[in-house]
Structure formats: C-alpha cells, structure tokens
C-alpha cells in the first residue's frame, strides 16, 4: 500500500471579506466592531505562539482522567464527606488529600533558599522580636 505524502501547509493565510459577508454578520447580531469590514486580510497560522513562546512554558493546571482502583471504605469515606452541606465533590476531596500528601513529603528547602526568602526572614525576625522559643 502506497503511503500518501502531504505537502506541508503554508502558515500564511489570506481571507477576503466582501461587503455582503460583513452585512450578513451584522444582521446575525455580531457587533460592527467585532467583525471584519470588507477587504483582504493576511495573517499567519500559529502566529500567536511564535510571538508569545512563553505561553507554552507557563504551568497550566489540567485535570486528567484516570482509572484507579480504591478500597471500598476509602471511596465511601470521601463520598460521605461530599454529602455534607457545602462540601466539595468526593473526587475533588481525593485530589486535595493526594496534593496535601504530595506537598507534605517534598524535601525541605536548602538553607540557601531560606536565606533569600523574604517571608521566612520576616517570620524569623518576628519570632526573635517576641522571644518565642523554637518548637524543637
């Protein structure tokens, strides 16, 4: 079987808008300043990411669906809690419990990071000012 070869598509795009197109959009309820006036418009596909590469590196919180087997009592525990007034859904509660565990088991920061942490320095200065003994 012969493979189909495709030519790479050009990223350049040209759109021709007629007065008829413009009038149809306005009649359909699109505001005049939110639709193209008649004319020829040139653009480039993917241009946003080329101009803003940082958009790809920013952390985006995304929920990913998985299949997981849990013990019945664990699932029932979270489902019962979810039935309470103003409670988060049970899946959100499970996610929050996993996140709390994950964040609680991370390695403590190096001292060099603490020295440069303004919040830590302010809290330490306040503790010294009050003369509060350490917890250890």
Residues 22-56 pLDDT 10s: 999 999 999 999 999 999 999 888 778 778 888 77
Please, what is the average pLDDT of the chain? Answer: 85
> Which tokens go with 104?
């609680």
- Supply the pTM of this predicted model: 0.39
pLDDT tens-digit readout, 67-88? 999 999 999 999 999 999 999 9
Strands (E) in the chain, as ranges, are 12-17, 39-44
- Taking the C-alpha atoms of residue 57 and residue 129, their distance in angstroms, rounded to an integer, is 42
Regarding beta strands 12-17 and 39-44, do their DSSP bridges make them parallel or antiparallel, or are they unpaired?
A: antiparallel
| pLDDT score recorded for residue 34 | 92
Q: Other C-beta atoms within 10 Å of 10: how many?
A: 9
Q: Is residue 117's pLDDT more than 70?
A: yes
> Which tokens go with 123?
């809290």
Cβ neighbours for 133, distance < 8 A, ≥ 6 positions apart: none
- Taking the C-alpha atoms of residue 69 and residue 75, their distance in angstroms, rounded to an integer, is 10
């Amino acid at each position: 079987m012969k493979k189909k070869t495709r030519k790479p598509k050009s990223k350049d795009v040209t759109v021709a808008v007629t007065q008829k197109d413009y009038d149809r959009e306005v009649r359909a309820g699109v505001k005049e300043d939110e639709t193209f006036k008649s004319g020829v418009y040139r653009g480039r596909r993917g241009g946003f990411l080329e101009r803003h590469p940082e958009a790809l590196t920013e952390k985006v919180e995304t929920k990913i669906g998985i299949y997981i087997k849990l013990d019945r009592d664990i699932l029932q525990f979270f489902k019962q809690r979810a039935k309470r007034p103003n409670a988060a859904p049970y899946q959100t509660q499970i996610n929050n419990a996993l996140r709390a565990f994950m964040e609680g088991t991370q390695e403590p920061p190096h001292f060099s990071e603490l020295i440069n942490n303004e919040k830590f320095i302010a809290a330490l200065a306040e503790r010294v000012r009050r003369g509060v003994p350490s917890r250890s």
